[in-house]
Copies of this chain bind each other. A is one copy, B any other.
Amino acid sequence: METLKLKRVAIDTYKENVAYLHRDCSVYRSEGFQALSKIEVFPHDDGHPVVAVLNVVDDESITSPGEIGLSEQVFEQLGIAEETEVCVRYASPPQSIKNVHKKIAGERLNDEQYLQITEDIVANRYSKIEIAAFLVACAESGMEREEVLSLTRAMVDTGERMDWGEKLVADKHCIGGIPGNRTTMLVVPIVAAHGLLMPKTSSRAITSPAGTADTMEVIANVELPMDKMRDIVKHQRACLAWGGTAKLAPVDDILISVERPLSMDSPGQMIASILSKKVAAGATHLIVDIPVGKTAKVRSSRDAMELRKLFEYVGDRMGLHLEVIITDGHEPIGRGVGPMLEARDVMQVLENDPQAPLDLREKSLQLAGRILEFDTDVRGGDGYRLARDILESGRALDKFHAIAQAQGLNQQPVQAGKLNRDIVAQTSGKVEAIDNFQIARIARLAGAPMTKGAGVDLFKKTGDTVKKGEPLYRIYAEYPSEFHFAKEAAANHSAYQIGK
């Protein structure tokens, strides 16, 4: 088989693998490739191949006819030196794509079929449109609970798995949808200060203006190599890291890279994503927070109950001690919405600042209390009081500082976005409701979570009285175009409902 010289093309194509062949390349012509064909590139000694989408080049300075160019990501995946001779061939379509077609036709898939899909995804054999097809197929016909279990198992089995060597490894998760709900950054130091093990890995935000990882990143590094994370957990009993770097359930990160631009987040995918990460991270005990409210992800107690049952079904079979708590999700928690503003709220609570948002403090204490009660030495009902003592004594703050320092403090302090605008009440009265979706949307348009200092800072919450012209919240943005979109959205619908 003919070979080509490997070339690194200095183009960053993110999670999309791209290869470049010159139009006059003899391999390109003799194999009958087309632009956007999927090809496999492999070392001559028949090592592990990489799969990439083909772009055809008409400029020899990018890739010459005797070369195969790879974008930065693919080049790293292949992991061999430039100028090495490599072979190229058509990538056979991934075997498991037939399972996706079955799912589109409304069929139910089994353990093996989900495993085949995740194996092909983790080997980069799926293009982004094939991943999109899989996600939409699952979202639309829904997944049987047995299927959610199959996908969860498959996602765990196609990645690395941590073992902490302890009987109780605590974790918590909120299904999201409530802006400002940064309880994790409070629960972790409280629980770790008590002595329970809580090595927390969080995703970045998918459709929200900030995730725990995005917010923690304002204060400290969250991208930790496995060794370093283990070391921190050994000394601190906890960490606040981003799961993506840790090779845990790697399929989850690939799925999220397509879910994010599609703004998708279906129940089956959500539960598989959450539980696979938890199990792979070695969690044994898990609290799941499901906020319910008119503008939350879950709108009725009936839906919350269905979701709870599904969590319990999958969790039990994955060997987790899992408890679901259904919470109030009728408005944002705390004041800040966006990574930097939420980090500020968290620090106020940890510092027992009188200005600290009470709702964030209260909810965090309740969740931490439930986790503390996983400890057989804690009497049922004593968890909340214990958590409050740890917070008020400053031990939680000390623990948080120790964790952040161990992870590496962020050397470039984040400022609130330099552009800002107050949104004011159009009438006087009492705040009756705050639309979670709209607040999240405005914060995202303003640039959160990518721009750390962007977001929304709430001055009024439900039950507060306001006068016409009084500020309801402030929008922060860094870049003019984002500032413009956010202001436009707020002008159309402020998110506040004000009654007499």
Contact = CB atoms under 8 A, between A and B. Distances in A.
A481 B31 contact: yes
Contacts of A80: none
A12 B16 contact: no
B136 A133 contact: yes
Interface string A21-40: 00100000011101110000
B261 A130 contact: yes
A74 B133 CA distance: 25
Contact of A57 (B11, B14, B32, B479): B11
A92 interface: yes
A61 B7 CA distance: 15
B55 A13 contact: yes
A57 B130 contact: no
> How many monomers of this protein are in the complex?
2
Interface residues of A, number: 60
Nearest to A89: B481
A56 interface: yes
A20 interface: yes
A31 B477 CA distance: 11
Interface string A92-126: 10000100010011100000000000000000000
A31 B34 CA distance: 34
10 contacts: A11-B20, A11-B55, A11-B58, A12-B23, A12-B56, A18-B55, A32-B447, A32-B482, A129-B131, A130-B262
Interface of A: 9-16, 18, 20, 23, 30-32, 34-36, 55-59, 61-62, 71-72, 89-90, 92, 97, 101, 104-106, 127-133, 135-137, 139-141, 258, 261-264, 447, 450-451, 478-479, 481-482, 485
